[in-house]
A and B are shown apart, each in its own frame.
Chain A
């Protein structure tokens, strides 16, 4: 189990970018699917909400990963959708095209970030402009015509630029600047350098880390990045070189003049070179009237939405397929055990070859099982480590001081859970930042530290994965929520308990924020949180104390997690006890057993610990009913200790947790079941609920 976690000690940002790209592509595909399926009647509430959520999630993700250009488009798109949700802008079929086009632009930006494909700034500006027009005019019909004419003129402008070089006194330069590593020590500030460049014309800057950075050894005083600058200017090459006069040696600055936009020939990455004839062909531009300029490229390997490099990428496989694989491997292991048992009865001398092959088979099946199981488990740090940057950026944006604490980030959970939990967690953290935590001045006035704290805590308790998002902010405002609910027409009344009131914030479109910002306030967040968590058959609960803060707890079932367990025998039955809850096991001496009110307790190193005889709790015929003849297993449940009495300890296993509830009902005291090596089913004990059962039994 631990080996899968060790690879993640150093943070490789690209790894997370990949997750974002995949998620984003999924959201886009989802959005497109809904849009395409829309009838003339327009989307219903649910579909509109779904499109909105997709846009919102892309924006959120893009924000975290610092793809600011993507948030810009999605923000406008989101604003429009929000108006539509509130019935401020009526739907029209032309909007579908508009939205699809917006989706294409976002795909293009995505491809730009992912594969380094070319991004057309004019297309981005155009779609923004179109969307904004619809928002401003309140209807799509009037604006489309205007937009179309504008598009025509922009196309014209492009062709015109293409055909007439003399207009292009404005040149585009591609600069690659690799500064001295000790440039910072020389007191040179790159920001001011770039600001100077910006005075010459339109500048875009991207930084590239030269070596995959190991953040633990990163020295912030050493500049290890390489800067790609793209400058549109009327200035000459010499002017640009002047700016770098005292900063860069000749070999540190590569300067390339690009003919003109949009035919940024030199900028096209290797993978796209195949399409160059088409790109430079003036006729192609002519025939492509009415189509967006980048459409020509859509069959190219690196065109928007399609990836060029398959190496190092991951394959997304349905969870059911992996489950099936795990089941089948489990069966294989059982078959192998049966073979081994049969072979054990054969003469080792006569059947030496058979025995050798069986050993080989055993090794292979074990390896296979391990690899299959490791497919599914990932530490939650994959999700958590997205947040420090997001919190930092949001904090500076909002003018708040925030400290992020992360506890239990090595908790391993199912890949399926990880993927689905990242969106809700992002929304929750954003909510904390924007709504819950107060500005430093407000906090000081309330007698708190100026800096707020957000704690993310993951743990596995009682057969469930529990993730807490805790802030020490203002807490939920009961009055405000009730007012807002009344305003929104959500049934609510004064007499509701706090818990019921907190549940109201999960209603779609619910927000108490006064202003809609691009961080939150549209009321889509909690709706997404609840939907995603419920789709994992999990629960969300809120505890909030005015002035003290809020704790949102997401509790997820262990759909298919793997557990280290100890198998024990009680009578004829075998049970698995999770190793994580076991402190120790011991054979008690008669002297250490005492009785309190007729109930046995065991005296271990100064503590009196109640004994829970499993056979009694489960009504089983046991071989051992006297604690001194059996074995006591000390367990710890949230600081509370108990000693389980069992007949014998059997073995230590790594087991796949299977749900009993799939085909049966919930069984008290168990967290699920597993299949042992001999093909039999063993129940996995849930120590938490065992303790509850015992207490209930004693109170009767």
Chain B
């Protein structure tokens, strides 16, 4: 993760950016790999009082208290089951550490700008506002998510809104 190889270069537009891809239901999503801190299994969470259902609670990640968001519940895709195969992506978003439960993590792919197309106005569980584009890789479509925008949004209720 720390090698600067193949990352979006401010000048060189042709440099491909790397994305971590994961599945939610039948859809394949991708987030900027630089936002990902680690991937771990699902642990026992401590429930947070009066939080929305998709916020599973908080866990102890080596002394840091990290909230866990279940995207499957939030976007009503897949079946929220918790077993030894449940995956949590721990991300660093806007200086915060947040865990995100998804159906599965697939791959890390590099996408050049020519492989990314703007998203149409509909069609995904996610609001189009949080989608930076649609990537194409070997006939497979990737929904690229602006995870910072999503996590800081009002509807996720993860962060205190300004004021």
Contacts and interface: CB of A to CB of B under 8 A. Distances in A.
B49 A675 contact: no
Interface string A639-678: 0000000000000000000111111111111100101000
B44 A664 contact: no
Contacts of B160: 661, 665-666
A663 B51 CA distance: 15
A616 to B, nearest CB: 11
B65 interface: yes
Interface string A151-186: 000000000000000000000000000000000000
Contacts of A618: 49-50
Contact of A663 (B49, B50, B97): B97
Interface string B73-108: 000000000000000000000001110000000000
Given A619-B50, A669-B49, A670-B49, A664 B58 contact: yes
B67 A330 contact: no
B134 interface: no
Nearest to B99: A663
B48 interface: yes
B66 A663 contact: yes
B63 A665 contact: no
A679 B60 contact: yes
Interface string B35-74: 0000000001111111100000111101111110000000
Interface stretch (A4-12, A506-514, A537-545, A680-688): A680-688
Contacts of A573: 46-47
B53 to A, nearest CB: 11
Contacts of B45: 681
A424 B62 CA distance: 35
A680 B44 contact: yes
Given A662-B65, A673-B65, A667 B48 contact: yes
A665 B157 contact: yes
Nearest to A666: B160
Nearest to A326: B63
A683 B58 CA distance: 9
Given A660-B58, A665-B158, A680-B46, A327 B65 contact: no
B49 A673 contact: no
B58 A620 contact: no
A675 B45 CA distance: 12
A524 B67 CA distance: 42
B46 A682 contact: yes
Contacts of A121: none
A617 interface: yes
A331 interface: yes
B48 A331 contact: no
A673 B159 contact: no
A681 B60 contact: yes
A255 B57 CA distance: 76
B110 to A, nearest CB: 29
A482 B49 CA distance: 46
A665 B52 CA distance: 12
A598 B96 CA distance: 44
Contacts of A330: 63
Contact of B46 (A663, A668, A683): A683
Interface centre among A330, A617, A679 (most CB of B within 10 A): A679
Nearest to B58: A681
Contact of B158 (A574, A662, A664, A670): A664
A18 interface: no
A683 B62 contact: no
Interface in A586-644: 617-620
Given A664-B58, A681-B59, A673 B46 contact: yes
B44 A668 contact: no
A639 to B, nearest CB: 26
Nearest to B160: A665
Contacts of A531: none
A675 B159 CA distance: 21
Contact of A617 (B49, B64, B98, B157): B49
A543 to B, nearest CB: 25
Contacts of A664: 48, 58, 65, 67, 96, 158-159
B62 A331 contact: yes
B64 A663 contact: yes
B65 A681 contact: yes
A663 B91 CA distance: 11
B107 to A, nearest CB: 27
Nearest to A679: B60
Nearest to B50: A619
Interface string A558-592: 00000000000000111000000000000000000
Contacts of B97: 663
Given A661-B160, A680-B44, A667 B49 contact: yes
A577 to B, nearest CB: 14
A328 interface: yes
A661 B46 CA distance: 15
Contacts of B50: 618-619, 667-668
B95 to A, nearest CB: 9
B46 to A, nearest CB: 4
A327 B63 contact: yes
A661 B97 CA distance: 11
A658 B60 CA distance: 11
B148 to A, nearest CB: 14
Contacts of B47: 572-573, 620
Nearest to B98: A663
Contact of B62 (A326, A327, A673): A327
Contacts of A670: 49
Given A660-B58, A663-B96, A664-B58, A619 B49 contact: yes
Contacts of B60: 675, 679-681
Contacts of B48: 664, 667, 683
B94 to A, nearest CB: 10
Contacts of A668: 49-50
Contacts of A662: 64-65, 96
B58 A673 contact: yes
A568 to B, nearest CB: 14
B69 to A, nearest CB: 10
Given A620-B49, A665-B159, A682-B46, A675 B63 contact: yes
Given A663-B97, A680-B44, 9 more contacts: A620-B49, A659-B65, A664-B67, A664-B158, A673-B65, A681-B46, A681-B59, A683-B48, A683-B49
27 contacts: A331-B63, A574-B46, A619-B50, A620-B49, A660-B58, A660-B65, A662-B64, A663-B64, A663-B67, A663-B98, A664-B58, A664-B67, A664-B158, A665-B157, A665-B160, A666-B160, A667-B50, A667-B51, A668-B50, A669-B49, A670-B49, A675-B60, A680-B46, A681-B45, A681-B58, A681-B65, A683-B49
